[in-house]
Structure 1
Amino acid sequence: MNSVIKKVSFFQSLSVAIILIFAVFSINIVVKNFIILDVKENFEHRATDIKATFEVLNESIKESAITVLSVLKSHIGNIEIDNNRKIEINGVQTSFLKSNEVILNNNNELIDEFTKTTGAVATLFVKQDNDFYRVATSLHKEDGTRAIGTFLTKDSPAFEKITNKEKYIGTVKLFGKNYMTVYEPIIKNNEVIGILFVAYNFDRLYDILQSKLEKIKFGDSGYLFILDSNEGILTLHPTLKDKKIEELDSNLQTLLKNMIKQKNGTEIYDFMQNGVETRKLSAFTAFDEWNMIIVTSANFDELLELNDTLRVYSIFGGILLLFTLLGISYLIIKKTVNEPLLIINEDLNEFFAYLNREKEEVNFVNIDTKDEFGRMAKILNQNIEKTRIGIEEDRRLIQETISVLSEFEHGDLCQRLNIEVSNPALMQLKNVLNNMANNLENNIEDVLVVLEQYTHYNYLKKVPTKEVKEHLLRLATGVNELGASITRMLVRNKTNGLTLENSSNILLENVNKLNSSSNLAAASLEETAAAIEEITSTVRSTSENITKMTMLSNNVTKSVKEGEELANQTTTAMEEINSQVLNINEAISVIDNIAFQTNILSLNAAVEAATAGEAGKGFAVVAQEVRNLASRSAEAAKEIKELVEKATSKANQGKQIATTMIEGYKELNENVNQTMNLIGDIQNSSKEQLLGIEQINDVVNNLDKQTQENANVASQTNDIAKVTDEIAKLVVQDADSKIFEGKDSIKARNIDL
């Protein structure tokens, strides 16, 4: 392979082939990576979207559980504990838990009525030592017995919340059913005496959602599956549903355990399906509230079909392009390069023989073309002619050049080349060396001048960088960057100083306002304390008047005959009121049931809207509004029921009093005695009010003291703000003492307050 054209063609072919192979290989890798990354992100988004559906369902179920809790509270109210009386449940002596004087221990009638009305189960806990004990429930075990007579235990996630007087809401699986549970502490005298518990079963809603999810497909064979992270069971899968992790092969066990541990991410793995091993891609995300891992899975090869097609096209296209380029380049090189090179090679051998004094004469290069080879031949002929004349001149110039460069080496840049020669190349070299010396000397002088200005805090002047390269450019740029860096530092200092000055002014104004507000608050609290003192005096006077009323009540007498007539009229009126109240009670029960059913229907509508995705968002809003309307209706029914119960109680009391008045004067005297007892109770309540007013008086006095301390803190803050303002002015003055670009246009930064 002695021919240049063969060498060039061979190496060109080899280079093009390597480049094309590398390009095709790189493109395939890059495209494959991009496709895999895009598929992973798409799968992660799909898993996240499905998780969002579960979150919507979870929030709806929570609201339903809270709603049924409010229904339970309307049935069971005024709960108290009697630690002096005990009742045995499963061998444990439990304190009496009472609601409106009705004992709740082992009393499941109210609970069962609640479950019958709402469909939700409920449990009552009573405080037992340092734990809580189940004393009544409508929850039944799988064998049909009630789940009563057991402790809550400290391992329960609700225990810590309850002991902190907080409500706990969460999901739990009880006896094979899924429930949304709400634990609410019963607080009496700032102490937790028991727990109200409701559990709303959402299996039907979950089954509806699960049936929708089973229909989701990814590509031709992709699907969705769900893993219970607590029990390690596949709760949703087209072929492995209800399978435990331990029942699967070791590779799949490791994969699913990693998903439970990592909670979010993607995995590529091998999966045996219908006796055939396939490559799978899965994206997974955790929904911790339901202890589940949501996984989207599809065949990896199906997702990479586009990449395989692109790889085939790129390989065939690269091969075709390679052969096309090689054929064209071979013809061009042979005609335009190889033949002129042979002529130049032969004539240069003649010229070098002349230079080596092997020949007395030299032949010129015989190429007469208009291309680069023709111009090269002309230049070669001109230089061959000049070479003989310039050899001696060149030697003298080279000698002087060596001498001048020696001086340059020791730092003297004033030396120059003065010899004139006829060789243009050497003359150019001479001029370049002289120009180089001039440029070095001038540029170093420019740097020194600028550095001198910097020493006097003047940063406006810059070192010229036009027609300067490499090290001189780096030197000039470095000096200019030094000036620019100092300028930026000064700009920042002045900007920060102005900003600090403005901020300190605002701080001073705000501190002054704080001082004024603190003083006004202190004055107002003093007036409030005086007013409370006056109220305390009034309450004491009221208590004394009640004592006088007790004495005066002994003189109360009435005519027995007039009392009997009035009692008969009162009895008749009370019976009519009782009849109307019973009718109102029935109407309220109907309204309460309608509100609850409306809430359940709105919950189902919210689930359907959540499964519908984007198309169901508007319907989800309507469902939410219907749920809100149902909640308000239930609340209104509850309030009306309370008013009716109070009216019934008052009517019964009136009827009883009228009946008692009929019995005669003796019974009237007995009622007077009862009235005196009531006045005694009022007197006790008045004393308690007096005690409460005195406690409020103490609190106001403490608040007055705290306000005075706040005023002192505001005063100290005012002093600090003044010092900050002085520091800001010093920073601005220091920056103004320097000379730099943009000094006069600097403004303080805007600070959003």
Structure 2
Amino acid sequence: MTIKKRLARASVGSKLALLVLMLMMAAFTALGLVFSTASKMQVEEGTERALAQQQQQITNTIELFDTTMQSSVTRMLNAFLATIPDNFTLIEDRRLPIGERDAPALLNAGFMLNNQSGYLADFANRTGAPVSFFVRDGEDFVRIATTLKTEDGSSLLGLTLSGGVKDALNAGQPYTGMLYLAGRHYMTRYRPITDFNDNLIGASFIGVDVGEQIDELYATITNIQLHEKDFSLVASTAPGQQGKVLTTGQWQGRSLMDFKNAQGEPAFAPLFAADSGQIDYRLAGEDSDRITSFQHYPAWDWVVATTIDKQEVTAGITQVRNQVFGLALLLALAVAGILYFLERRLISRPLDALVSLAQALARGDLSQRITSQRQDEIGKLTAAMNSVGEDLSRVVGQVRGTTGAVNQAAGEIAQGNEELSARTEQSASSLQETSASMEEITTTVQHSADSAQQASQLVNSTSEQARRGNDDMRKAQASMEDINRSAERISEIISLIDGIAFQTNILALNASVEAARAGEHGRGFAVVAQEVRTLATRSSDASREIRGLIDESISHTQQGVAQVKDASQAMAEILSSVERVNDMIAEISAGAREQSAGVGQVNTAVSELDAMTQQNTTLVNQVSGAARSMSAQAQALEQLMAGFKVAGAQDMATSSMSRQSVSHQSMSHMNTQPMADGEQTAFPPPASAPRGSQRREEEEWEAF
């Protein structure tokens, strides 16, 4: 059985509980999605703000370290220069070899500084800071004295400055900054040297080894994280080393430019296209998105980047959302279960009782009733169904009583017609004997007079029976009219039920329109409204079929009334004919007494009397056929009413069987004659309802 058929066969309570469950699930799901989405957005925004703050804190730490070291190296250079005279002279014409090249001579208070690194050793040994002197040679600055050496101990004499240091000195400005010299990080200070004429002739240098502090700073930056998978790093922006990771960790020494995103493009290229910002990306081969906040520190050619994993940030929100969905499901199931229990008790069970009552009424059992104290719509519907059963029981009882009386009256009419037919045949036999015995005029006249006297008595009796039959016909006509009025009352009740079904259909249509306006949230309610509308349509169709049957019964009843009227007119004609026969017999008696009138007149009278007798026989046969037809119609109507079970049905059935027995006994003694061509009963026996139709009606009640 498909889900659609199962849903169609489900009770109203089950459907309402299922609808409430679906609506609650939809509402809770929508609420959970809104809550989780809003929470996720808030967490992401808060994380991005915290990431930006953390990034700013790292930058501030670097800037504070830079400022502190610059102040320290500046003080140390000033302290170094304070130990020597501020008297420098450049001898451009005197060039001395230095390293792999030569350079002009630079003197300090007459002391030659070229190749005199030992002159600086005392201060370097005391402070641990290397110092140097540079002489200006054109636009270059050549190192002529220094305590700075490479890692293998080689001298740096003869090397020239380049980049920002050279530019600052040529502009007459000191330069302070961190440089990577001889394999170590130094915070350096370069200061221009001028002669007495303020001509730029050289530069002094001092460096503070900050390698350990830089390593500690790298470690500090690496350990800064908001979540387990977060990490921070420092990469170089210097030409030739752009993207190289300087901090410790799994990416140390690797270039950020080697990492690709899911689209196959360099994932960290935006870090070197702007001074600061954030980028969203997913590395190739990974299943989670990342956010990296970055900021440049131009003084050191650094870019500081902090990265977080989006999935890790929203993991808590996802867990809470799943828990909310689980609790919502449990709550929805609990509410639906309680609602199902209440609806089954307050709606489904009363409706099942009403369905059973309607099925009993459909089977003809009009004795069933439902006791209910409710005052709501179901209570009103129960009262209406009980009222329908009572009205139908009263109508069926009245029809049963009327059909019994009609059947009895038809039996009496048939019995009277039997006597009339016998006497009419006897009169015809007497007339034949009279015609054969015309030769014995005296005996024939006397016999004719006696026969005429007897015929007069018989005709009088027949006239009296015909009058009683006419009165019974009028009573039968009145009873049939009462049946007609009762059937019209039933038709009005069916029309009322049809109107209720029409109003229900209108309400269901309005509910469907309102559900369509509600959009997706009203789809389940639209399905229920369509089912209600379908049921209302079925109820309307059923009421129209019942009204058709009632209208057909009214039509048959009206035909019966018309035929009873015809029978009454026939009885009147019989009565008139009997009176005419009586007059004729009187004339025969007068003719017998006036024998002298002649045999010819007697023969003429006998012939006329024979013709009238034959006509009377034909009329009596016609009345007998009408009586049989009326009796058959009454029996058919009684059988139709016997299909209904009402209170007190046993007594009514017993009396009906007694009347039917009397009718059959009366009919069995009749001298039946063939009915005229084309005659048939006005009420044929009712055909049994097809099983398919009955089964279809039961299925419709069950679906309701």
TM-score after normalising by structure 1: 0.40
TM-score relative to the length of structure 2: 0.42
Q: Highest CA radius of gyration, 1 or 2?
A: 2
